[in-house]
Each structure stands twice: as structure tokens, then as C-alpha cells.
Amino acid sequence: MKLASLMHGRDGRLVVVSKDLTRATDAFPVVPTLQAALDDWDRYAPRLADLAESLEHGSLPSFRFHEHDCASPLPRAGQWLDASAYVNHVELVRKARSAEMPDSFWTDPLMYQGGSDVTLAPREAVRARSEEHGIDFEAEIAVVTDDVPMGVNPDAALRHIRLVMLVNDVSLRNLTAKELAKGFGFVQSKPSSAFSPVAVTPDELGEAWRGGKLHLPVLTQLNGAPFGRPDAGVDMTFDFGTLIAHAARTRRLSAGTIIGSGTVSNRDADGGPGRPIAEGGLGYACIAEQRMVEIIRTGAPVTPFLRFGDSFRIEMKDAEGRSIFGAIEQEALPHAE
């Protein structure tokens, strides 16, 4: 089933969305918000699935679904933990600044605690106080869990995944180095993230969802031009079960926890850094990676970070070319002080 939260108050208004994203029906008769549904998933999910089935059959009242009306599926989420599971991406970052990457990064996941008290709607502008902050998008896969016990193992963790969605983990690249040097993670350099209009249950993904990974390309566009299409199932060093188990090693996780994959990143066919779309490569899921490849190849970055007025789009399509989650489509704009 596919779920979305229409903009309404702080927690949105839950709707069930048709598989083709054209129609929706109110979930209110079952449960008013997605957080409430996750709080008691075993009780509500079957009833939401009934609504979804009736919606497909056209046997209950429905209305036109507009992605523009959507908030994040969880407009304020209880927890947002983001990993860096495509270690290829991390290695490139290090290589671009001539730093060694510890071997442990291949076996011990990188993960940070992000803020999710505020999320951006999928069509909401990314507001920044200055272009000099180095505004970037990061296209990622994210999963939403129910309650996860402390010490869960990776296999059992997979069974706690209730929903899958896309995320734009907005990053202010020119603030990152200073924060990372302090060791305390990201506060200022990772402002509010945006999520796809629609979250889907893993069964909606069919064969593309296997081994705790989503085996489909993440499509990004920058100012209307194709920017990347790396496959989220390739070069993902840690699957979502491993990531959830990492997060829950010393504490339990509450229903509505969102775990991100980190920027999707594929190596080139020869094992080296991926090439840009313009050169026939798979491109990238963030501007920073394109810049790193430019640095490695030519000594200096060429592609600028986002300027005010620049826009980007993040989407994923199924084997038939239909949008699965709807699109994150945002413009970078100045914050009005």
C-alpha cells in the first residue's frame, strides 16, 4: 500500500494513495495520522490495506491526488538517523581531500543522529541564509520502523521495516568540515530534510526490495537536466537490517524511526569513481560527489553548489517507468530574516 500525509496541522492528514499516484482516499475513518498508524501498526495496517484495495477497485469515494498537497509522510518524525552506507561515497570524499579512510569504515557503519522535528514538504523550498554555506541535496533511500527492541540482530531488524521512501538530506557543505572536526556530528550543516510525497510498504516494491536493499536507480535532475541515476541496490555496503541493528545496539527505537541509507553512490564499471551523466556514466545523487570526482580528475571542482533559484528533482521509477514515491522537487531560496 501507498500512504501520504496531506498538509494539515503539525502531523498531516493521512491518506491512502492509489498505486499509480492519481487518486487518494482519506484514512481518517481508520486512523488520522501516519504516526498514530505506526504507533499501533498491527492494528491499523490491515484496515488501511482494505482501504487501499477498495481504492484500486474504485469501490469507495476518492479524490485526485496532488503531490503538491503533501507534507512529508511523517511531518515531524520522532527520530531520523542517517547512515553512510555507500562507503564508495565516503572513500571519494576522503580521496578528494587526500585523506586515508580507515578500513573499519567497511565493517562498522557510519551513522549520525539528525533532526526531524521539522521536515520540508516534498515541494517546499530549501531556505538558506547564504549561498556561501554550500547548499547541496543528497538523494537517499529511507525506511520507517515500528518499535525496535534494543540489541536486535540484522535479520530480525528487517522485519521491523514498515515503510520505504525517498529523502533529500539537505547539506550545507561549507559548514561540514568545521562541524566534523569537533567530532559531535552535524547540527548546523544538516538542516531540515525533505521526504518523498509517498511512503510505500515493502511489498509494493516487489522483486526490487530484497536483501534489505532497494534495487532500482535513484533519478536526480539539476535545473531540469539529468544529473544521476545510480542504483540504490549496488555498492550499498550495509543493508537496512544492519543499519537498524547498528542504531539499536544500545537502545530501543520508537515507532516512526526513520533510517536513511546515505547518499546513493555507484562505482564506475572499471571500479573507479563514477562518471558524469554527460560522459555516459551513472552520475551522482549529490553535487558534492560530482565535485569530488572533478577534483580527483582535474585538481579542482567545476560544478558549483546550489545557487538561489536552482532547482533539483529526486524520483524513482519502477520497471514500467511509473513513479513509485512521487517526486521531491525543490528550489534553493534565500531565507527571509
- Within 237-296, the residues that bind a copy of itself by CB under 8 A are 246-247, 249-254, 256-257
Instruction: Work out which of 27, 51, 163, 172 binds a copy of itself, going by CB under 8 A.
Output: 172
- Within 5-34, the residues that bind a copy of itself by CB under 8 A are 10
Distance, in Å, from the CA atom of 279 to the CA atom of 108, rounded to the nearest integer, reads 34
> SS3 letters for 49-92?
HHHHHHHHHCCCCCEECCHHHECCCCCCCCEEEEECCCHHHHHH
Measured from the CB of residue 252, what is the shortest distance to a copy of itself in angstroms?
6
Distance, in Å, from the CA atom of 15 to the CA atom of 336, rounded to the nearest integer, reads 32
Three-state SS at 140 = strand
Q: In the complex with a copy of itself, which residue's Cβ is closer, 175 or 282? A: 175
- Asked whether position 56 contacts a copy of itself by CB under 8 A, the answer is no
CB 116 within 8 A of CB 282: no
- Burial class (CB within 10 angstroms; exposed 0-12, middle 13-18, buried 19+) of 251: exposed
> Cell numbers of 195, please?
521526504
- Burial class (CB within 10 angstroms; exposed 0-12, middle 13-18, buried 19+) of 205: middle
Could you give the string, one character per residue 122-151, with x where binding to a copy of itself holds by CB under 8 A and - elsewhere? -----xxx---x----------------xx
Measured from the CB of residue 127, what is the shortest distance to a copy of itself in angstroms?
7
- Burial class (CB within 10 angstroms; exposed 0-12, middle 13-18, buried 19+) of 99: exposed
- Binding residue count for a copy of itself, defined by CB under 8 A: 50
Tell me the window of 177-185, 198-206, 292-300, 301-309 that interacts with a copy of itself (CB under 8 A): 177-185
Q: In the complex with a copy of itself, which residue's Cβ is closer, 119 or 201? A: 119
> Cell numbers of 209, please?
526490495
Instruction: Work out which of 99, 181, 300, 319 binds a copy of itself, going by CB under 8 A.
Output: 181
Instruction: Work out which of 25, 79, 88, 290 binds a copy of itself, going by CB under 8 A.
Output: 79
Measured from the CB of residue 220, what is the shortest distance to a copy of itself in angstroms?
22
- Asked whether position 186 contacts a copy of itself by CB under 8 A, the answer is yes
Measured from the CB of residue 194, what is the shortest distance to a copy of itself in angstroms?
12
Distance, in Å, from the CA atom of 316 to the CA atom of 165, rounded to the nearest integer, reads 10
- Interacting residues toward a copy of itself by CB under 8 A: 10, 39, 76, 78-79, 81, 84, 105, 108, 110-118, 127-129, 133, 150-151, 172, 175, 180-189, 191-192, 246-247, 249-254, 256-257, 335, 337
